[in-house]
Amino acid sequence: MEVKARAPGKIILAGEHAVVHGSTAVAAAIDLYTYVTLRFPLPSAESNDRLTLQLKDISLEFSWSLARIKEAIPYDSSTLCRSTPASCSEETLKSIAVLVEEQSLPKEKMWLSSGISTFLWLYTRIIGFNPATVVINSELPYGSGLGSSAALCVALTAALLASSISDKTRGNGWSSLDETNLELLNKWAFEGEKIIHGKPSGIDNTVSAYGNMIKFCSGEITRLQSYMPLRMLITNTRVGRNTKALVSGVSQRAVRHPDAMKSVFNAVDSISKELAAIIQSKDETSVTEKEERIKELMEMNQGLLLSMGVSHSSIEAVILTTVKHKLVSKLTGAGGGGCVLTLLPTGTVVDKVVEELESSGFQCFTALIGGNGAQICY
């Protein structure tokens, strides 16, 4: 049997960093996906006693005997319940880490270890100790702030849960899970994100699971319904960043300048709320007018992010290039590198700006904003 699943990446449209200080943030799914294919062997197959993970994008394969996994990961049949998402204990995580270490990851790929640990935890908790080959490939650049880890957790969980659904409709292409299964999927994916990030906000996995857009404030996540198309150019600066250090830097600035930074955070909150109102609006305002308002909000948001100290020379280089083409851009995510969003108003031709950006060593994608969430295919 073969099951396929896919889950989208995400962008932050407005509110990054300020959200940590109580402001509203708006995030959205993009039509760049991580794909997971789950294959179960026939009982007579030679591989029916192994669990294999293939990472196609980086040409790596890992394989464990089921006996070794059972030996390393505590198992109690009474606690195996896919309908009750569970956190991975520190003790179990250490045991899983040993399984990962035994695979002898290349030093330059050690950043993959938390993702592989997440794979082993989600697989054994949802499926149990059954043989399979799991193939993962992604359209999302790793570590760029586009939610690649959440997309992995969501797509993997979707495939695992879908394998146990008795009513399988074959041959009809990609289909979404129902609300009950989506809620369960999102909770399991969040547990996976905790292994990778420690204390995630839940924004990334929620956007990836449900798709479209969400509003997030003080721990409360609200799903939004967009009534206008949004198209963005996403530019990956290829500059790595230390998210923890950037968040800490903003907090330290807020301590040094409490009144000024409070005003900055309040302004970001207003921008996020206005942006959410525009994309949800059903009024007769033309798409062009709405796009103009969004351009101004993005421009203001980038100015506020610059005042927080989280921009970077690579980000400013992208912004200067897009400005020459009369386009507005802002960083998305932690800043300090990572990715930049450029709004593409209706009818915009991007060939020249993409050519110029890529000639400077940047990586460009065009994406529709606010699309589908997790989907499965048999």
Residue tagged active-site, from 31, 49, 167, 204: 204
Please confirm, yes or no, whether 31 is among the known catalytic residues.
no
3-state secondary structure the chain: CEEEEEEEEEEEEECCCHHHHCCCEEEEEEEEEEEEEEECCCCCCCCCCEEEEEEHHHCEEEEEEHHHHHHHCCCCCCCCCCCCCCCCCHHHHHHHHHHHHCCCCCHHHHHHHHHHHHHHHHHHHHCCCCCEEEEEEECCCCCCCCCHHHHHHHHHHHHHHHCCCCCCCCCCCCEECCHHHHHHHHHHHHHHHHHHHCCCCCHHHHHHHHCCEEEEECCEEEEECCCCCCEEEEEECCCCCCHHHHHHHHHHHHHHCHHHHHHHHHHHHHHHHHHHHHHHCCCCCCHHHHHHHHHHHHHHHHHHHHHHCCCCHHHHHHHHHHHHCCCCEEEECCCCCCEEEEECCCCCCCHHHHHHHHHCCCEEEEEEECCCCCEEEC
Active-site residues, by number, are: 204
